[in-house]
Every structure is written in C-alpha cells, then in structure tokens.
C-alpha cells in the first residue's frame, strides 16, 4: 500500500478501537469529516479501511459462531 492507504488504515484501526471502547459510532463520521476538510483522498482511504475492517470483523464473528455451533451440535449427537 501507499502512504495514504497505510496511514488511513492505521487511523481506521485506532478509530474502530475507540468506537468499541467509547460505544460511540458517530466518531467514524466525525473523523471522516475532519479528514475530508483537508484531503478527500485520505477521507476515502479511511472510509474504505473502515468498511474493510468492519466487514472482516463481521465475517470472523460469523465463522466463529458457525464453528462453535457445529462443535456444540457434534457434542449433542448420540455416539454411533
């Protein structure tokens, strides 16, 4: 990645951590607006990183839940 993408991704990670800690999802939009006043390119890279990281988190949660359910179902099944 380039400098813009690297910096935007690092910021996105920190913002998502802060959103989780503070319980304030509006922080994402506030940071994006602040970036947009100086650099729309950085704002777009930031929002892309937010979307990618959020999607990855949701996908991992789904995978974890499916595996957990399958393991629980396997334990409930009668032995053959």
pLDDT in tens, the chain (80 residues): 799 999 999 999 999 999 999 999 999 999 999 999 999 999 999 999 999 999 999 999 999 999 999 999 988 877 76
Sign of CA dihedral 42, 45, 50, 53: negative
In degrees to the nearest 10, what's the CA dihedral of 34, 36, 39, 42?
90
How far apart are the C-alpha atoms of 11 and 9, rounded to whole Å? 5
> What integer pLDDT is reported at residue 6 of this predicted model?
97
**Tokens 């940071």, located at residue:** 31
pTM of the entire predicted model: 0.85
76 Cβ contact list (under 8 Å, min separation 6): none
**Tokens 């910096």, located at residue:** 7
């Amino acid at each position: 990645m380039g400098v813009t993408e690297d910096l935007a991704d690092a910021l996105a990670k920190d913002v998502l951590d802060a959103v989780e800690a503070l319980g304030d999802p509006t922080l994402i939009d506030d940071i994006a607006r602040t970036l947009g006043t100086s650099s729309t390119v950085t704002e777009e890279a930031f929002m892309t990183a937010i979307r990618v990281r959020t999607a990855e988190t949701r996908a991992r949660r789904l995978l974890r839940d499916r595996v957990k359910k399958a393991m629980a179902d396997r334990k409930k099944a009668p032995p053959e």
